[in-house]
Amino acid sequence: MIYLDNNATTRPLPEVICSVHKAMNELFGNPSSMHPLGADARRTLEASRETVANGLGAISASQIVFTSCGTESINTAFSLLIDERISQIAISSVEHAAVIQAASRWARGRSILQIPVSRDGLLDVDALASFIQKAPSLVSVSCANNETGILTNIPAFAEICHRHGALLHVDAVQAAGKTPLSLSDLCCDAASLSAHKFHGPPGCGILYLRTPNIRNFGGQPILPGHQEFGFRAGTHNLPAIIGTAIAVESLRDGASAYVATGQLRDRLENRLLSLISGSQIHGFTVSRLPNTTSIYCPGRNAADLVMRLGQLGLAVSAGAACSKGGEPSHVIQAMGFSPERANSTIRFSLSRFTTVEEVDESALLLKRAFLSTLPSTL
């Protein structure tokens, strides 16, 4: 099976798997326990936190809070940042469902603006500025769109937010491990990541909190408790945390890998555009993740294509919830395209381990699937 669905999840590195297995065998003590096994676990926990902070460009390890996943990190950020002073929320119209649902959950009567995007998927900066200057706001935007890979100029958004006194949360789940990322350079109040998106283990999320300002806000953790500086209660998933630190360490030499992945992505797109009549790449002219391709396949239903490709030995995903009863991608529609086009879009997402041979074979498999599936009836 050729696996090109790395924006959904990535295969854990062999060294990550080994570290998780070893931790489960040897570091089974609770980091909160006072006995030697607990003390060993605590030392390893804090060493892992230090590794993650250093590897992701945080200034201090105290800025790193471990959670169970990206979704929990996003919701915890909202719960901590929103207090009685925040009267409105702004998110983009192309955000991941986790952010959309978190905004809806934590709004509690506050107005929510969905920042519009251009046909190229770029956020409307003027619309954001006009909205947040009206009242104290929480803004949440993604570094990189999970469907199209289109990148957001986060420092520019941070400058606007801070100028108007707004708090900024960044969904960096798709960016980590796929493009250079330094948490301190984002100039945000909070950011969310997830280890399984960059060849780490499932079950470990990361919440970055810019300190000490975060402790001055009036929000509350989802579940109070003494763990994770009081921001996230519950016994630590130490094996997953250790595996996450190993995965972060593997990103040290990422720059060359990002360039190589981008070259493979370009190779794939050139072949797809030549093989699939009428196909188009979303966000083709703007900055995108080097691993992501969102391609419109005219007249074909994405769910059918994905299923057929799976049968042929290629794992990709639809750029929409294209199963029966599902809705076409809100991302593609927010960019100004029709529901029909949204429902005819699939996503290829490479990893740093994808090969030239896999890319060339994938293009041929899509052509085969394209020719063997019936035109969409939508």
- Which residues are identified as catalytic? 322
Q: Which residue has the tokens 């083709």?
A: 284
Give the containing element (helix H, strand E) for 193.
strand 190-194
**Cβ partners under 8 Å of residue 301, min gap 6:** 322, 343, 344, 373, 376, 377, 378
Bridge-partner residues for 32, per DSSP?
Answer: none
Give the pairing of strands 190-194 and 205-209. antiparallel
Give the pairing of strands 2-3 and 88-92. unpaired
- In whole angstroms, what is the distance from residue 170 CA to residue 154 CA? 8
DSSP of 62-118, one letter per residue? Answer: GGEEEESSHHHHHHHHHHHH--TT--EEEEETT--HHHHHHHHHHHTT-EEEEE-B-
Question: Cis ω on the peptide bond leading into residue 328 (within 30° of 0)?
Answer: no
- In whole angstroms, what is the distance from residue 138 CA to residue 81 CA? 7
- In whole angstroms, what is the distance from residue 281 CA to residue 271 CA? 12
- In whole angstroms, what is the distance from residue 155 CA to residue 186 CA? 5
- In whole angstroms, what is the distance from residue 12 CA to residue 6 CA? 11
Output phi, psi for 260, to 5 deg.
-65, -40
Picking from 356, 144, 352, the residue whose alpha carbon sits closest to that of residue 252 is: 352
| Eight-class DSSP state of 376 | P
DSSP of 330-374, one letter per residue? Answer: HHHHHTT--HHHHTTEEEEE--TT--HHHHHHHHHHHHHHHHHSP
